[in-house]
Structure 1
């Protein structure tokens, strides 16, 4: 009897640390002995760079632009820990749908039964989460991924993107779409950052999977073209990623979130803005009294 392949999608606003987080999860899972594929779904085709020493690999769309017929294995490259790396790619800027590469790449690998032949344990789709439409919605809409996670900080635009993703999951859930596993809270280094993301999670009935602090260790690793797991395996940050990977590997129950509508989100953010201004004033008053 063949083993059950686990397919997950990790979404997040551009620049939020989604690919950094995904690559470290992949590295930690591979380190634990699992057979992993990381499937980059960003038109920039840079999801898997830190798994391959900073090197780019040709995307599926690039290969198809050269010739009509492509063997799926021509688009698969191995990286750290034997991780299979694939980049869907995208069209030239201003030409065509940026999500088309995802649709094309997924179909190519499915048609050639790559997942079964490689006997994979986990496939992780690293998906741009600024918009949840067209090709970018494929892992959710088609139910390709069983569980969806979003990387978000406490910044408003990151939360706005996460809430949009929740709306997409809610919409497609009744038609067999993927469900939400939870929020990966990234760059959380202060109490107020944690309070903001916790409040958003509570209001959308969404669990926090892990808090990931901002760390210079991550920056140093990326500048060397590697994940933190590879470059600094004994660091505290590497242990954070290992725990996150364990939680995702063990995750079995996902659900439909309860996203905020536009007015609710704006009112929620305005209340937090007022709260932070009041807290700053109170702290300034306290310091003046001490002085």
Structure 2
């Protein structure tokens, strides 16, 4: 499995679609996996068709009470490219805009695909098109769970895309140091303007540049029209060379120990910039108020929390909610109690905590506090057995 990462808007879907197509045209069984809530990765591969997303299809099945009946053909689609080669596509999707956590949707999507048999399918390549940066745990899933064997970083010669590339390299190196098996393959410079900035960055970070895709108006128009760039001989040659390297595993070797993500000042120096050696002056509260009178903010009372949760919490749940808010700053937006599972709480609308009962509550709160302090992203925590907690 190969993951393509890079800053949003840099052409990851364009690159992924053409790479998938060339790999397939060279005789491989290939699937493109869109891993972005806006679910438009496979549009060009399918001639402009927007595929139903895995998340939407699963929700439809769940609403009908038959989620266990979901099968691969409900979420994996196929098409013919250049009228002779079959490729497969899937869009994981995510929540509606402003509703829920996109990263959590990605994690759920991979779990569901594995349940459908992803690791057993006779595919030569699964190429994953991933949203932007990897600051969110869900979007770092291929790295954190070693689902991707290899990672390609797409960038341009601009500071913003290279900043994202530096972050991605840093995340990949971190997970490799923790025993992860994913390795970086190198950089693709898209819309190359010939300035050589990305090449300087690659040399400093110690990553190879695998290919340079030139800035080309006609190819951009093809991409906008959901057509393949392989119809242009120069681009077909570039993708053919890269595909052959991936097939024969002859891409330049990358030693993850030797990858050296740049500190901020060193990164700025690539562009001839220098970070000032002082911290800017702070803005006082009086200045920010602009002479206005301070009005006290309403306090978050238990009554407000009850409105968010819905039903009147029982005394045990009330005590837990109070402690979560007062000691850890965790705001319960949903709460339920099951005779067998005990309390299940939703924090800030997206994080689920299976707390169980009040037994050993101190240990459970300590685990949550440690998770917060670690900075490790999580969207689900099971504390019913505090001696062996589980989170993802």
For 1:86-131, what per-residue CA distance to the aligned partner results, in whole angstroms no more than 9, with x for missing partners?
11101112222112232122112212213424x1100111111234
Contact 1:184 1:210 in 2 (8 A): yes
Partners of 1:115 and 1:169 in 2: CA distance: 22
Residue among 44, 56, 62 paired with 1:62:
56
What pairs up with 1:182-197 in 2 under 5 angstroms?
182-190=186-194, 193-194=195-196, 196-197=197-198
Residue among 131, 147, 151 paired with 2:150:
147
The Cα of 1:271 is off from its aligned counterpart by 4.4
The alignment partner of 1:50 has SS state of coil
**Quick check: 1:138 aligned with 2:141?**
yes
**Quick check: 1:171 aligned with 2:174?**
yes
Comparing 97-106 and 132-141, the one that deviates more: 97-106
The alignment partner of 1:242 has SS state of helix
Aligned to 1:102: 106
Comparing 106-115 and 119-128, the one that deviates more: 106-115
- The number of equivalent residue pairs is 259
CA RMSD of aligned residues (A): 1.7
Aligned to 1:206: 207
Which structure has the larger Rg over C-alpha atoms?
2
Aligned to 1:89: 93
Output the TM-score relative to the length of structure 2: 0.63
Q: Assess, with a 3 A threshold, how the Cα gap between structure 1 residues 166 and 114 changes in structure 2: closer, same or farther.
A: closer
Partners of 2:147 and 2:119 in 1: CA distance: 12
Contact 2:35 2:92 in 1 (8 A): yes
The Cα of 1:73 is off from its aligned counterpart by 2.4
Contact 2:34 2:91 in 1 (8 A): yes
The alignment partner of 1:23 has SS state of helix
Aligned to 1:242: 240
Q: What residue ranges of structure 2 are gaps of 5+ in the alignment?
A: 275-392
Contact 2:5 2:152 in 1 (8 A): yes
For 1:232-290, what per-residue CA distance to the aligned partner results, in whole angstroms no more than 9, with x for missing partners?
1x522222222222223333644322100122212333349xxxxxxxxxxxxxxxxxx
Contact 2:157 2:193 in 1 (8 A): no
The Cα of 1:72 is off from its aligned counterpart by 2.8
Aligned to 1:270: 272
Q: Assess, with a 3 A threshold, how the Cα gap between structure 1 residues 254 and 38 changes in structure 2: closer, same or farther.
A: farther
Q: Which has the higher helix share?
A: 1
Contact 1:23 1:48 in 2 (8 A): yes
Q: What residue ranges of structure 1 are gaps of 5+ in the alignment?
A: 1-6, 273-291
Q: Assess, with a 3 A threshold, how the Cα gap between structure 1 residues 225 and 262 changes in structure 2: closer, same or farther.
A: same
The Cα of 1:219 is off from its aligned counterpart by 2.0
Aligned to 1:228: 229
For 1:178-205, what per-residue CA distance to the aligned partner results, in whole angstroms no more than 9, with x for missing partners?
1211001111132xx22x1111001101
Q: Assess, with a 3 A threshold, how the Cα gap between structure 1 residues 65 and 156 changes in structure 2: closer, same or farther.
A: same
Contact 2:134 2:171 in 1 (8 A): no
Higher relative contact order (CA 8 A, sep 6+): 1
Residue among 4, 29, 46 paired with 1:52:
46
Aligned to 1:123: 126
The alignment partner of 1:57 has SS state of coil
For 1:195-236, what per-residue CA distance to the aligned partner results, in whole angstroms no more than 9, with x for missing partners?
x1111001101111111111223223223322112xx1x522
Aligned to 2:163: 160
Contact 2:207 2:254 in 1 (8 A): no
